[in-house]
A = this chain, B = another copy of it.
Amino acid sequence: MFLAGFGVVVAMLVANGAHGFNGKVGFMTAFAFLTGGVTSMVAGYVGMMIAVYTNARCTVSAAQGPDAIAWRESFNAAFRGGSVMGFALSGLGLLVMYVLMVIYSWMYAFETEAVELFECIAGFGLGGSAIALFGRVGGGIYTKAADVGADLAGKVVAGIPEDDPRNPATIADNVGDNVGDVAGMGSDLFGSFAEATCAALVIAAQSVDLVSAGWDTVIFPLYISAVGILVCMAVSFVATDFQPVRNEASIERVLKTQLTLSTLGMTLAMYPVCMMYMPDQFYLGSKTYATACIGMSSSKCVSGGAHAAFACIAAGLWGGLLIGFVTEYYTSHSYYPVRELARSTETGAATNIIYGLALGYKSTIVPVGVLAFCVWISFSMMDMYGVAMCALGMLGTLATCLAIDVYGPICDNAGGIAEMAGLPDEVREKTDALDAAGNTTAAIGKGFAIGSAALVALALIAAFVTRCNVLDGGVNLLNPAVFAFLLIGSMLPYWFSAMTMKSVGIAAMEMVKEVKRQFDTIPGLLEGTPGHAPPDHARCIKISTDASLREMVPPAMLVISAPIITGTLFGVEAVTGLLAGGLVSGVQLAISASNTGGAWDNAKKYIEKGGLYIDVPKRERSHADPPEGPFTGAIVRNVDGSPQMISVRQRKGSECHKAAVVGDTVGDPLKDTSGPAVNILMKLSAIISLVFCDFFMSINQGHGLFNLQ
């Protein structure tokens, strides 16, 4: 419904381009848009179905046979389930896009109308993005409204644990996990893949040299993804067959090996592919290398094209891996930062929050440095085309990343099934161990998603600037409109985050009220009287669904309308400023929000695991104390009057744990709603600008209705 309506609007506005009304361009863009949206939905649907079916398989595998085989089989079931999502998404996306291009090339002759051809294809990326908006923003609100709502309802209203079967919001919470982690992450990364490819194609189509080198050269971006799928497929056998999981300790290592091997394999495989398809010299624009570049030095003049392309792709591949591992360092409780964060709960929730925010801010340093380096190296080598290549390189291991991401919720739900089915404790232990490793690697995936989103957004800005030839002289940072919109653009992620965070709060409150109503009106539910009526799960799910659809409208409108209004009123230079501002400030906000939330989550888990010890004054045994403690008598003192200290392990229910729970709850909307949603803000506003480029150019030659000069 939404897709169709939005498609019509896209068609109308795009058709009304710089060269007068052109129904063909409008229709074809809109068709590509619908195709992109439907493909993303199908891939997400397949992934979710497989994930749901695999849950049970994973549980069953964990329950049968000797230990080593149970470890291997349950891991393999979950990992293969995740791989289905990964390969379905990347393979389907690639296939549909290729078919679309072939069909469109019948309408526009490739040799003469490549620009129009690939401009229409850009609608595909927009479609993928629109679904990502639903998946990430709507899905994010859904999952956290259910999660926070169930949590608060249990704690505040009824004083029962959040996953107590009496709590009517638990099922909505479980559904939310699938929506947010499987469909949300999938649609986000699908969007990145589709957009990066479109950006690269649009830029390539502008180059006379690349077009004259032939179809294979122009669609080289698709070869990167194709090689990526093959490499990831080959590498996946390492985990399932060559180096299978045998015990708890090896799970995390196997998953990390997958990522590293995929990156390494892609690097090796891409070198010959680059050599085969990239021409040696070309100019990225409407002149040929010979006329534009003799005696000139410009980043648009590329010589040694194959090596340059390989360098950009390799920078993306390894940059992504590095960002992932740094994210893990800051969010896993195996390392110092999260342990320090757990320790800060000693003085209460407030210090935990302060340390957590500081940790998130600090965690931006290396990823942003890596991104800046990637941008600089690829930009210097192949101008904007290099940035798109770099983004595609980072997405080269997409299938493996997605497999690992989806692996997490599968194991999580497998554990839930084991619990509900009353299977032996050792089964639950296995699924918990599988899940724990999944949590760690999910952090890697999150860092990876943000990093690639930033590069993709920049590639789209690049494609936008390239398409709007008026900016050939460069975009002057010190132009009044550019700087003013740079400021406004960098405010947008804050506005957007405020909206999504508040939305979670509002939806969670509604959930709490409904739970309260059910406890008040269903007799015996709260008291757990045998034979009482079941809680009304469906109504809670409906509240989450309705709230997420309703609450996602304002942030979605902000993302969609900001570039369109800016472009219409103030012109394309202002749009460039807006996009650049949103990108540079959004990256920081997304990274810090995700990592802060992840760190709080794991600090809580670290305490629950019993990792935190706090020094307290040693006390003598008093008469009423149990033999093994804790003792409550007088403090034992040293000769100087200072008390002797002993280390006490902090467990669930301790004051430290309570403080950590506050941090975890604050982190929930940060890490699963507002943080990842900023990815969408960056990418969607950029691709909307790209698709509406011709429309903007039709208004006073791109100077907007106010006709700023």
Contact pick for A479, options B474, B508, B587, B665, CB 8 Å: B474
Whether A502 lies near B364 (C-beta < 8 A) is no
List B contacts of A580 (CB < 8 A): 477, 483, 486
Contact pick for A497, options B361, B471, B670, CB 8 Å: B361
Interface string of A128-167 (1 = CB under 8 A from B): 0000000000000000000000001001100000000000
The stretch of A16-24, A102-110, A347-355 in contact with B is A347-355
List B contacts of A360 (CB < 8 A): 498
List residues of A (626-682) whose CB comes within 8 Å of B's CBs. 640-643, 661-662, 665-666, 669-670
List residues of A (586-632) whose CB comes within 8 Å of B's CBs. 587-588, 592
Whether B358 lies near A483 (C-beta < 8 A) is no
CB distance from A69 to the nearest CB of B (A): 43
Whether B584 lies near A495 (C-beta < 8 A) is no
CB distance from A143 to the nearest CB of B (A): 15
Specify which of A344, A478, A588, A592 lies most central, judged by the most chain B CB atoms within 10 Å of its CB. A478
Whether A355 lies near B475 (C-beta < 8 A) is no
The closest CB in chain B to the CB of A580 belongs to B477
Alpha-carbon distance A361/B555, docked complex (angstroms):
14
Contact pick for A361, options B477, B498, B521, B587, CB 8 Å: B498
List B contacts of A355 (CB < 8 A): 501-502, 505
Interface string of A283-305 (1 = CB under 8 A from B): 00000000000000101000000
List B contacts of A375 (CB < 8 A): 480, 483-484, 487
Whether B477 lies near A477 (C-beta < 8 A) is yes
Q: Verify if A491 is at the interface (C-beta below 8 Å from B).
A: yes
Q: Verify if A453 is at the interface (C-beta below 8 Å from B).
A: no
Contact pick for A505, options B354, B509, B665, B709, CB 8 Å: B354
Interface of chain A, main secondary structure: helix
Alpha-carbon distance A458/B487, docked complex (angstroms):
11
Alpha-carbon distance A581/B483, docked complex (angstroms):
11
Alpha-carbon distance A662/B353, docked complex (angstroms):
9
Whether A477 lies near B576 (C-beta < 8 A) is yes
Whether A349 lies near B349 (C-beta < 8 A) is yes
List B contacts of A581 (CB < 8 A): 584
Q: Verify if A523 is at the interface (C-beta below 8 Å from B).
A: yes
Contact pick for A592, options B489, B494, B662, CB 8 Å: B494
Whether A152 lies near B351 (C-beta < 8 A) is yes
The closest CB in chain B to the CB of A365 belongs to B495
Whether B477 lies near A297 (C-beta < 8 A) is no
CB distance from A308 to the nearest CB of B (A): 13
Alpha-carbon distance A576/B477, docked complex (angstroms):
9
Contact pick for A642, options B368, B517, B643, CB 8 Å: B517
List B contacts of A237 (CB < 8 A): none
List B contacts of A709 (CB < 8 A): 297
Alpha-carbon distance A479/B371, docked complex (angstroms):
15
Whether A376 lies near B669 (C-beta < 8 A) is no
CB distance from A381 to the nearest CB of B (A): 9
List B contacts of A592 (CB < 8 A): 494
Interface string of A355-382 (1 = CB under 8 A from B): 1011111101100110111011001100
Q: Verify if A482 is at the interface (C-beta below 8 Å from B).
A: yes
List B contacts of A274 (CB < 8 A): none
List B contacts of A373 (CB < 8 A): 484
Whether B156 lies near A505 (C-beta < 8 A) is no
Whether A666 lies near B353 (C-beta < 8 A) is yes
Q: Verify if A89 is at the interface (C-beta below 8 Å from B).
A: no
Whether B520 lies near A641 (C-beta < 8 A) is yes
Alpha-carbon distance A307/B49, docked complex (angstroms):
68
Alpha-carbon distance A588/B495, docked complex (angstroms):
10
Q: Verify if A465 is at the interface (C-beta below 8 Å from B).
A: yes
Contact pick for A521, options B353, B484, B585, B642, CB 8 Å: B642
Alpha-carbon distance A482/B483, docked complex (angstroms):
14
Q: Verify if A199 is at the interface (C-beta below 8 Å from B).
A: no
Whether A152 lies near B348 (C-beta < 8 A) is yes
Q: Verify if A504 is at the interface (C-beta below 8 Å from B).
A: yes
| Contact A487:B372 (CB < 8 A) given known A348-B156, A588-B585 | yes
Contact pick for A372, options B379, B488, B502, CB 8 Å: B488
Whether B588 lies near A368 (C-beta < 8 A) is no
CB distance from A352 to the nearest CB of B (A): 9
Alpha-carbon distance A355/B661, docked complex (angstroms):
17
CB distance from A704 to the nearest CB of B (A): 13
CB distance from A226 to the nearest CB of B (A): 28
Contact pick for A354, options B350, B351, B478, B666, CB 8 Å: B666
Would you list the 6 A-B pairs with minimal beta carbon distance, nearest first? A474-B476, A379-B480, A350-B665, A361-B498, A362-B498, A376-B484
23 A-B residue contacts at CB 8 Å?
A: A344-B505, A347-B512, A350-B661, A354-B501, A355-B501, A357-B501, A358-B497, A361-B497, A362-B498, A364-B494, A365-B494, A368-B491, A369-B491, A373-B484, A375-B480, A384-B478, A476-B476, A476-B477, A478-B576, A491-B588, A523-B641, A581-B584, A662-B662
The interface of chain A, by Cβ under 8 A from chain B, is: 152, 155-156, 297, 299, 344, 347-351, 353-355, 357-362, 364-365, 368-369, 371-373, 375-376, 379-380, 384, 458, 462, 465, 471, 474-491, 494-495, 497-499, 501-502, 504-505, 508-509, 512, 517, 520-521, 523, 576-577, 580-581, 584-585, 587-588, 592, 640-643, 661-662, 665-666, 669-670, 709
